[in-house]
A and B are shown apart, each in its own frame.
Chain A
Amino acid sequence: MTTSRLLSLEHWKGWLWAMIRFVLITGLSFVILFPIFQKVSTSIKAKGDLYSAVVVWIPQNFSIDNFKEAIRVMDYWATLFNTFALSATTTLLTTASCALAGYGFARLKFRGSNWLFAGVILTILVPPTTILIPVYLNLKSFDLMGLMTLIVGKPVNLLNTYWPFILTAITANSLKAGLYIFIFRQFFRGIPKEVEEAAYVDGASIGRTFSRIMLPNAIPSMVTVMLFSFVWQWNDSFYTTTYLTSSKVMSTQLSSLPYNLAQQVTDGAASQADPFYLSMIQDTGILLAILPLIVIYLFVQRYFVESVERTGIVG
């Protein structure tokens, strides 16, 4: 009798917790998804529905005019292509260079390597704002210690090209690269030493061991780093708005969207524009900018979540 009552008490406790958990998770999921739903709902409304008191979520008159307008103002397809090219390039280069550095710091210790790793940590800790101006001036007249003057005759201006991104990516110093090196280092440290030693005994060189044995094992951490780096590059407004003022990539287009809208939708007379209508197109623009990321995420999310769990992010 007592046991069955205890059992049922346990049962009720479990049930209650499941209920609380369900409410919590659903509620928070709703908080996360709400802005996206709202944008979708706004973007498919016709202009007239904005003022209709009947319309809350589902519009009376479906319309894709907002999309047409946002695509026109943002020059969407060219922007999409540029952003994709930029993000993909930096992602591949960053992953490669950070994997090398991470492996070097984890397994190929040399004199002073701990000091250099402290340098990696320093790059994570110093806010990018602190070094922004010297880097900017450096890129504006890029000289590489007089090397450029020797070849071309004068320093070259790398601003408004993709070179700043490519150069920093090759040298593992792009956006948040310190974090990626850290992730790779943690991961490579977690792989048993015996694996490597067996390869050496079989006569594999260090380079071969790295590319044939260690890298295939590092795929979970590579997925993590690639996804982070792609997404953060895609969303980054800090570097892009500094280095790429005239080039069309998603984040610069987004940050100038309110201005462009006021200019183009109303032919410059901003006072005539209906602010609600502009806001509606702006929301559509945001939706269009994050849509490719959401689509990619839908495809890789399962793999991503699993891979992060298996990655050595854990200290």
Chain B
Amino acid sequence: MWGVIYVLPWLIGFVLFFFIPLLASLRYSMSTIQANAEGIAIQFNGVTNYIQALTVNTSFNRALIEAITDVLINVPLIVIFSLFLAVILNQKFRGRAVARSIFFLPVILASGVIMTLESTSLIEAVNQSSTGGSSLGTFELENLMVNAGVSDWIVTYLSSAVDRIYQIVSQSGVQILIFLAGIQTISPQLYEASKMEGATGYEAFWKITFPMVSPLIFVNAIYTIIDSFANNAMTELIRDTGFVKFDFGLSSAMAWVYFLAIAIILVIVNIIFSKRVFYQD
């Protein structure tokens, strides 16, 4: 009874600002919408909008595939990177507080506008090219790895990761926080016991830390997927179709295809993780 009262504000908002719009958007996606003096006229037209989005529109498919590839490439990198950093930031060393506050700075700075403006900034571009830009020694690194017999696509993947280090660092703030919080809930006795048994730090990580934070790997993977889908070329295209070209129907259809793509990825990730995640209880 009391629970309903506490949840009520959210419930009203959920119905008004989420559920009804969600249904409306599904309806728009299957309609032709014409704005006139009395408001808007909605006419059912089946899957025409979907067909148009997938076959006629020139940029939709490319934007969608790019968005998905981006996520598939970035998510593993971001999750592994943030776990690694959380482990490091959890160790005791001088200047730890400073290091932590610097690493969480991107949580505050990473924003759509700033990122977009930065990528168009001329000064940034000139400075990059004058300092050598993306050549953080990746070329030598690549050669080294290829010569060492590492397979080609791993090399390309890793070296592109090094080149996009700023992007990865700036998208990992929240994930590092989540991992760090998780690592700190692990009881120190476990580490003490393993040390007595003669385990090295490396073994302790794989036998204790990793299984204990594995639920959080799942959480972070989901968060990263949602986060990277929130603002990209795809959402830009959907907005432009809606608010610049005023084709609400097509825009809604695109948004639904987009949503379904995300949903499928989330389901796959869920299946992959549900078999491997270790829960303490």
**Could you list which residues of chain A lie within 8 angstroms of chain B, going by C-beta atoms?**
18, 21-22, 24-25, 28-29, 31-36, 38, 42, 97-98, 100-101, 103-105, 107-110, 113, 116, 119-120, 122-138, 141, 144, 167-168, 170-173, 177, 181, 206, 210, 228, 231, 235-238, 242, 251, 254-255, 257-258, 275-276, 279-280, 282-283, 286, 289-290, 293-294, 297, 301-302, 304-305, 308-311, 313-315
Contact = CB atoms under 8 A, between A and B. Distances in A.
A301 B252 CA distance: 40
B4 to A, nearest CB: 6
Nearest to A27: B165
Given A31-B166, A130-B22, A257 B117 contact: yes
26 contacts: A24-B88, A25-B99, A28-B165, A35-B118, A38-B124, A38-B127, A108-B3, A116-B11, A125-B226, A125-B263, A126-B18, A126-B22, A127-B235, A134-B24, A134-B28, A171-B17, A177-B10, A238-B112, A238-B230, A254-B114, A275-B122, A276-B122, A293-B109, A311-B181, A313-B178, A314-B216
B211 to A, nearest CB: 14
Main secondary structure on B side of the interface with A = helix
A113 B7 contact: yes
Interface string B3-26: 111110111111011111110110
A91 to B, nearest CB: 14
Given A134-B24, A309-B180, A173 B2 contact: no
B242 to A, nearest CB: 5
B221 interface: no
B114 A286 contact: yes
Contact of A173 (B13, B169, B185, B255): B13
Nearest to B84: A24
A206 B3 CA distance: 10
A130 B259 contact: yes
B24 A125 contact: no
Contacts of A294: 105, 108
A134 B21 contact: yes
A167 B219 CA distance: 29
B37 interface: no
Nearest to B128: A38
A95 B239 CA distance: 29
Interface string B110-141: 11111011101111101100000000000000
